[in-house]
Copies of this chain bind each other. A is one copy, B any other.
Amino acid sequence: MSSLPIENSKQLLDRVSKILDKDSQIEIRNLVHSLYPAETAHILESLEPEQRAKIWAVIPPNVMGEILVEVNIEVGSGLLKITDRNDLIAACENLGSDNMVDLLHVLPEPLLSQVIETIGTLNRSRFENTLRYSEHTAGGLMSQDVLTVRADVTLDVVTRYLRKRGKIPAGTDSLIVVDRNEQFLGVLPLSQFFSSDPHKKVADVMDGQSIGVIYSMPSRDVVMLFEQRNLLSLPVVADDGKVIGRITIDDVVDVIREEADHSLMGMAGLTEEHDMFSPVMTSAKRRAVWLGINLMTAFLAAWVIDLFEDTIQQIVALAVLMPIVASMGGIAGSQTLTLVIRGLALQQVSAGNTMRLLAKEVSVGLANGVFWSIVVTCVAGIWFHDLHLGMLLGSAMLINLVCAALAGVTIPVALDKLGIDPALAGGVLLTTVTDVVGFMAFLGLATLFLL
């Protein structure tokens, strides 16, 4: 009999925090034993390293592997450092082949070699094979636990074969159908066994329209296939058409989550693989890089302002109003930038529609530029009792909003073509453009018309 869970992750986290504060070994142990590995992983990521160690100490070695696979790389490395070597080897032995490969990708040397040695010769060659596939391809996502059946046997024969075999790999929704030479032919959904005559041949009831993908397909494309065709699993084939593995939806869900996190975090110069509670100096150093790059662009903007020092000296109101031009350009530009970055990630922006998108975004920039120009002209004109100053501010803003739209489309598209992640570098470049153009336009126009 099942119970209805009334506790969500946040409530669970609060409960864990309270138990940890009490520091009762027994309560911690009871708690940990009641959790799924992924729940434990989620909790571990949310805690500080010292609290993490308290939980980790009571986790049985046989579930350690599953937890290590679920946590992000940095948290995982931290846990590995406080794990007994024998426990770790026990942990590895309990993992399925796809999880094992994920873990091997994380293990640092010399631990990696040691673990590989202890796995045993047969398994080792399998893992070494899988490690060859890049993490971000179909090969890197697949599990080698597959059930293949021949097309020329009857469903009855398959049923008897499965019975004899006993265990079916987790998440099996269908069997992969191959010919004599192990060439991929199609898939046979398990549900067919309940709706078809048992004496029919596999070839007659299988789904021959289903596809298999080559091991080198980028994981981004694999994800699209799962999403667009509502797949639960997808066979993976080698160059010669032989079936070498199977990708399941649970791993695809992880990729979707990682990609989304990557875009969001990338725009702030962060990555999704870092520990929320990394040591202060580690975090500070990582973020320093981003701050340093931004400092350079800020000094560039300052240098532009400095060109107009004499102008500002004569009309201090310019110094008061100039951040408005830069700020509005930055906001408008980041709207366009975000739209395009998402379009690129979803593969909805390509050579075929970039020019149309550019035209549309520049038109939107123009429309908003005209509207807000009028508004700021009035506000600044009244504030400083100077309509000319207001009109200057309005004109500079109009120029900056149009440039922001241009930059918001061209920067990410260009970065994408160059193979640079637009989510990571797009924001800094855009702000540089909108700052420089904003200050230059406003102070430049002022120098021309007000002095």
Chain A residues in the interface with B (C-beta under 8 A): 1-5, 8-11, 13-14, 16-18, 36, 38-39, 42, 45-48, 159, 162-163, 166-168, 170-173, 184-186, 190-191, 193-195, 208-214, 218, 220-221, 224-230, 232, 237, 249-250, 252-254, 256-257, 260-261, 263-265, 267-270, 272, 276-277, 280-281, 283-284, 287-288, 290-292, 294-295, 297-299, 301-302, 305-306, 309, 312-313, 316-324, 326-328, 331-332, 334-335, 337-339, 341-343, 346-353, 356-357, 360, 363-364, 367-368, 371-372, 375-376, 379, 431, 435
Contacts and interface: CB of A to CB of B under 8 A. Distances in A.
Contact of A227 (B224, B226, B227, B253): B253
A8 B212 contact: no
21 contacts: A2-B184, A2-B210, A5-B225, A17-B351, A42-B346, A159-B194, A227-B254, A256-B257, A260-B260, A260-B261, A260-B263, A265-B339, A268-B335, A268-B337, A277-B360, A280-B363, A312-B320, A319-B319, A323-B435, A327-B431, A327-B435
The list of the 8 closest CB pairs from A to B, nearest first, reads A17-B352, A260-B260, A319-B319, A38-B228, A9-B347, A284-B367, A268-B338, A162-B194
A211 B350 contact: no
A198 to B, nearest CB: 9
Contact of A250 (B36, B230, B260, B323): B230
B277 A357 contact: yes
A312 B317 CA distance: 10
A295 B375 contact: yes
Given A166-B195, A253-B256, A320-B302, A265 B379 contact: no
A237 B5 CA distance: 12
Contact of A163 (B39, B194, B232, B372): B194
A17 B18 CA distance: 58
Contacts of A327: 294, 297-298, 301, 431, 435
Contacts of A168: 191, 194-195
A210 to B, nearest CB: 6
A337 B287 CA distance: 13
Contacts of A291: 328, 331-332, 368, 372
How many copies the complex holds: the figure is 2
Given A212-B2, A253-B256, A283-B364, A323 B302 contact: yes
A352 B18 contact: yes
A276 B348 contact: yes
A280 to B, nearest CB: 4
Contacts of A372: 288, 291-292, 295
A320 B324 CA distance: 15
Contacts of A194: 159, 162-163, 168, 190, 193
Contacts of A309: 316-317, 320
A434 to B, nearest CB: 11
A168 to B, nearest CB: 4
B47 A353 contact: yes
Name the residue among A10, A47, A253 with the largest chain B CB count within 10 angstroms: A10
A234 to B, nearest CB: 11
